[in-house]
Amino acid sequence: MTLSTETSQLAIVTGASSGIGKATAQRLAADGFHVLAGVRKQSDADKIACVNIEPVILDVTDQTHIDNLVARVASDPKKRPLRTLVNNAGVAVNAPIEVLTLDDWRYQFDVSVFGQIALTRALLPALLASKGRIINITSVGGRVAMANFGAYSAAKFAMEAVSDSLRREVEEFGVTVVKVTPGAVSTNLTDSGLATAARITATMTPDQHTRYDELTKAFIAQAEGFARDGVTPEHAAGVISRAVTARKPKTRYTIGTDAALVNRMARIATDRFLDGTLRRQNRKLAKSAR
């Protein structure tokens, strides 16, 4: 679709400063939407602003930011309806459950669950009025919970449940809820996740190091593999664009062959089969990191 300064519908993308969010904002702008791109810093807003992309300062854990965005949608100067909300903002807090503090858990859930719910609730009246679409970016971690991913997977499993419940509540009123499940994607979330993991593991006791150092090596090797071999954010944005624009969207889209495989395994594999498979994978990854 040819980019035009004349758009008839609004789209909101959270977490748009980099990675999947930024690529999605750019893709939806090219599709002809006027995109309200949620970023947390003015410097990021300055970088992403362009034709059909209007940056908005948005921390999904800040109710004032949410209220400001709702007011922006309601007072759109061209009276454009809100067509879609892409809930992409999130963080990755990865460490063994024994090591994570309750503050770590609260941070993961505040951003990746409660913030998503707060924003969705606030914008639902506008989406109901337009019979719009909600796209929740989940993860393979919300289908299979790997060791060292307890908090992150718990948040993503929660958003799986929220998405299913919301879809069954509002579909009859014309609002469509779609889950988009990425596998390995090369994004800045990998770097921030590694930095967070390093901060947390630095607090481990000697006994905890004995128990979990091999697991930490495996996690680092896996994260580096994601950054090296994962699909591009632009590829992910193309899948999200299909979820936004399809006349009859599926309830779930996967991004990457690994996500499709994990999605199938989650449906058919036993817990013990997955335990063994993931344990062998971690041993292999830890060995490769030495």
What average pLDDT score do residues 8-30 get?
A: 97
The values of phi and psi at residue 5, to 5°, are: -80, -10
Q: Answer yes or no: is pLDDT of 289 > 80.
A: no
- The pLDDT value recorded for residue 195 is 86
Q: Taking residues 219-234, report their average pLDDT.
A: 87
Q: Would you state the pLDDT for residue 189? A: 64
Region 48-66: what's the mean pLDDT? 97
Sign of CA dihedral 146, 86, 69, 49: positive
pLDDT in tens, 257-287: 999 999 999 999 999 999 999 999 999 988 8
Give every CB contact of residue 194 below 8 A, 6+ residues apart in sequence.
220, 223
pLDDT (0 to 100) of residue 290: 62
Structure tokens at 138: 């989940």
| pLDDT surpassing 50 at residue 2 | no
Residue 4 has a pLDDT of 42
Q: What is the pLDDT of residue 273?
A: 94
Domain boundaries, the chain: 10-186+232-268
Averaged pLDDT, 251-262: 94
pLDDT for 129: 98
Picking from 1-10, 157-166, 257-266, which range would have the lowest pLDDT averaged per residue?
1-10
Average pLDDT, the chain: 93
- β-strands 252-255, 34-39: how paired? unpaired
Active-site hit among 107, 152, 212, 253: 152
253 as an active site residue: the answer is no
The answer to whether residue 3 scores a pLDDT higher than 50 is: no
pLDDT in tens, 83-134: 999 999 999 999 999 999 999 999 999 999 999 999 999 999 999 999 999 9
Q: How, if at all, do strands 133-137 and 176-182 pair?
A: parallel
Average the pLDDT over 133-160 and give the result: 96
The dotted CATH code for 10-186+232-268 is 3.40.50.720
% of the chain surpassing 70 pLDDT: 97
The pLDDT value recorded for residue 187 is 77
- pLDDT band at residue 1 using 50, 70 and 90 as cut-offs: very low
- The yes-or-no verdict on residue 7 having pLDDT over 80 is no
The whole-number average pLDDT for the span 210-220 is 93
Read off the pLDDT of each residue in 158-180 and give the average, rounded to a whole number.
98
**24, 86 Cβ separation under 8 angstroms:** yes
Residue 78 Cα to chain centre, angstroms: 30
What pLDDT, on the 0 to 100 scale, is given for residue 240? 98
- For residues 38 and 189, which has the higher predicted lDDT (pLDDT)? 38
